[in-house]
Structure 1
Amino acid sequence: MLRELSEHGSPIQRERALSALVESGQFRGVRQELADFSTRPSFREPGAAKQRVICHADYQTRLPGRKCRGEGDPPTGDAAVDEAYDGSGATFDLYRDIYERNSIDDRGMVLSSTVHYGSGFDNAFWNGKQMTYGDGDEDLPEEERLFNRFTIAIDIIGHELTHGVVQYEAGLVYRDQPGALNEHFADVFGILVKQRTLNQTASESDWVIGAGLFTENVNAKGIRSMKEPGTAYNDPRLGKDSQPGHMRDIYTGSQDNGGVHINSGIPNRAFYIAALDIGGYAWDKAGWIWYLTLRDKLGTTSDFEDGARETYKVAGDRFGVGSLEQKAVRKGWKEVGIEIIEEAPKPQPPEPPGCGAGAPDFIRSFFIPAP
């Protein structure tokens, strides 16, 4: 999307898209030094309390910036600050109240966010330690704006924080199908944060990631559609949504780290179908199946077939072999072209001594990174 905009947008739009791509490209080479890093937490603390810190970057690119709101502080009146605060709280609550998880690392990690990052920065990212959000085009005249601020959509906040959960659990490498699964899990729990905040059942949700992010100047309903991959946007400046919804259309090129943001449409649709068939609140049964799979069953190089097989097994373990829930999971994967074959999972490479397998090699950004 940013690549298309860098070629087909107005001069200022091209400049900003290129800047975001360069920024993402620089981040890709950054290795995060995470103290006492472990992909599988060795203990869990009951009764976890939220700890949020929101910082203001003052339109610079140095992190974290100056603190402007802490846990329990009243609203500031700055929409980006308060949305980041509320969205990180809603994400924390989903993981704690539903999945019994104590923050991102399951050890009570402080949820740190920086807003107003850079000038005209059209992206949001998780860097292994914190969330960062750009303001989009809110400094431009209204008729020239394409992007609103990136905190405007609560599912984007849930998405970014879930990259942290993936980092501390399966540690899915950010390339090809494992990377697409990484993006998929971020979308799943991002949409569940949104649905829970709105008190929506699976049938009531729009299943759109990033609704509200685009201005009325763009022909788009959001960044991705989990219900109908490939239909989220179609705009002469941004291009057309290229996500496939079936394995027959899977992207096999080298851009986007082998299609991590593109091919995530396939497992996204599988989850949508399973959740719809199960019915009720998707964060309940379907969410539990996907969470336990992420937490306990997948490894760094797991692919779509691994994800399908393990979600199917978890559904049987939790709700019973042959249960409605297990049948719904099988149906979801089958409808996107993945038949579940019950066999032993492929061996995962050993973790290097003293280093978690999920330590990120680069930042996970919301949009397609630079090639």
Structure 2
Amino acid sequence: MTGTRPVNCIIPPYILEKLLESDDRDVRQDALDTLLTTARLRGERAVRSSFAGAAAPGDGRRTIFDCKHSRFLDLADLARSEDGPESADASANRAFDALGLTRDFYREVFQRNSIDGRGMRLNGYIHFGVKYKNAFWDGQEMVFGDGDGVKFGDFTGSLDVIAHELTHGVTDFTAEFEYHNQSGALNESISDVFGTLVKQWALKQSVEEADWLIGTEVWTPGIDADALRSMKAPGTAYDNPLFGRDPQPDRMSKFVHMPDTEEGDNGAVHYNSGIPNKAFYLTAMRIGGYAWERAGHLWYESLKASEAHFQFQDFADVTYRKAGELYGDGSAEQLAVLAAWQEVGIQISGIPAGVARARILEVDRNGAAGREDGLAGVHRQLGALSAQVTELAREVAALKRAG
């Protein structure tokens, strides 16, 4: 694992930057403090991450520390350990439980031993800073701010947020997607995908029952917003005077172009993650059932088969290939992938758009994913037709010989 990853924060910079436009001096100052703290942490992260790969294995054992509103992790006190009693601090218990659910999800669903696959210990730090409006993974541990209680709540209260951040660690130890432009947007999208899968798995929700929202608990009740992001409908998670409108695109025709700088969100990584997010949602809905099963396995295997520089096209092609390997060429799962990427404006390499549309229409005419139809049915029909043509040719040849 390289040592060049930035601090991965759940709150995109464009949300905090909106607060800098507020007429309220205290709101502006709180937002500025959070942004400056995050910038400082980026420098520390480069140093800390160089030691992350050497973290002692511990079968995913959890330890929660209390920063007591300090910004120095080394000064934090023990709040709860794997073998210790429940804490009197609700934030410590929420963080402890969420780390455990995420660990158990990866273990039970994908047979992965903690974040690094080798039993990496899971350390969490609560009450970081004063009114710190974020939560982040820094390469070794999870860190939680308390929010300001007015716009942002305690970040230990959102399971999918915590799973999102821990999944940045999984990505660090697998594909290592470079954190800029399309590969950076894939990095963010993977965290949203598995963040929502952990939540759906914990609640035992089917694809129809899930809300497909990321961070519904982050906003306080006083904020008119559904969530930080919507995987079902990117660009619709919030729309209010304070934060503006959710800027995520849901297809390539709306792709956001920004500079590959910190001010440009590293090439709009938090914006454009909406496109692969929508592709996963569409794939899971076409396949049906529990998203962490077939769709989740497909995305996880594709993540492991990916490379750091991958663009959306590369990842789309890998998901299509993996669907064929896992479920069969022409399977309903593979057609679900084909349809999903086409809907967000990405054609699978080697399959002309017209052919892709014909295959998808075949599935739609014959019913839901999972039936014996679609491309597999087309292949069988072609095989039967070929056999008929061959037999007809033999009969013609026999008639000529007889004549």
TM over 0.5: yes
Q: In 2, Cα distance between the equivalents of 1:95 and 1:319? A: 21
Q: TM-score, normalised to structure 1's length? A: 0.86
- Aligned position for 2:24: 10
- Is 1:312 the counterpart of 2:320? The answer is yes
Q: In 2, Cα distance between the equivalents of 1:342 and 1:112? A: 45
- Aligned position for 2:266: 257
Q: In 2, Cα distance between the equivalents of 1:56 and 1:243? A: 34
Q: In 1, Cα distance between the equivalents of 2:26 and 2:178? A: 34
Q: Cα gap change, 1:9/1:176 in structure 2, threshold over 3 Å: closer, same or farther?
A: farther
- Aligned position for 2:210: 205
**Contact 2:49/2:140 (<8 A) preserved:** no
**Contact 1:114/1:132 (<8 A) preserved:** yes
Q: Cα gap change, 1:16/1:271 in structure 2, threshold over 3 Å: closer, same or farther?
A: same
Q: For residues 219-230 of structure 1, what are the structure 2 equivalents within 5 Å?
A: 219-230=224-235
Q: In 2, Cα distance between the equivalents of 1:49 and 1:299? A: 27
- Is 1:338 the counterpart of 2:346? The answer is yes
Structure 1 stretch 211-220 or stretch 70-79: which is displaced more?
Answer: 70-79
- Is 1:105 the counterpart of 2:110? The answer is no
Pick the aligned partner of 1:68 from 79, 92, 100: 79
Q: Cα gap change, 1:232/1:326 in structure 2, threshold over 3 Å: closer, same or farther?
A: same
Pick the aligned partner of 2:68 from 58, 63, 83: 58
- Aligned position for 2:167: 162
Tell me the CA shift for residue 137 of structure 1. 1.2
Q: For residues 74-223 of structure 1, what are the structure 2 equivalents within 5 Å?
A: 74-138=85-149, 145-223=150-228
Q: For residues 253-332 of structure 1, what are the structure 2 equivalents within 5 Å?
A: 253-254=258-259, 255-295=264-304, 297-332=305-340
Tell me the CA shift for residue 314 of structure 1. 0.6
Tell me the CA shift for residue 318 of structure 1. 0.4
In structure 1, stretches of 5+ residues that fail to align are: 39-44, 139-144, 344-371
**Contact 1:233/1:240 (<8 A) preserved:** yes
Tell me the CA shift for residue 335 of structure 1. 0.8
Q: CA RMSD in A?
A: 1.7
Q: In 1, Cα distance between the equivalents of 2:53 and 2:77? A: 26
Provide the secondary structure at the position in 1 that maps to 2:68: coil
Aligned partner letter, 1:56: D
The structure with the largest helix share of the pair is 2
Structure 1 residues 118-175: Cα deviation after superposition (integer angstroms, max 9, x where no partner): 000000111011010100013xxxxxx0111111110000000000000011111110
**Contact 1:104/1:161 (<8 A) preserved:** yes
Provide the secondary structure at the position in 2 that maps to 1:7: coil
Structure 1 stretch 199-208 or stretch 6-15: which is displaced more?
Answer: 6-15
* Greater C-alpha radius of gyration: 2
Q: Cα gap change, 1:9/1:147 in structure 2, threshold over 3 Å: closer, same or farther?
A: farther
Q: TM-score, normalised to structure 2's length? A: 0.79
Q: In 2, Cα distance between the equivalents of 1:27 and 1:9? A: 28
**Contact 1:293/1:311 (<8 A) preserved:** yes
Q: In 2, Cα distance between the equivalents of 1:53 and 1:29? A: 24
**Contact 2:107/2:114 (<8 A) preserved:** yes
Runs of 4+ in structure 1 off by over 6 angstroms are none
Tell me the CA shift for residue 37 of structure 1. 3.0
Q: In 1, Cα distance between the equivalents of 2:52 and 2:65? A: 24
Tell me the CA shift for residue 10 of structure 1. 2.4
Pick the aligned partner of 1:242 from 212, 235, 247: 247
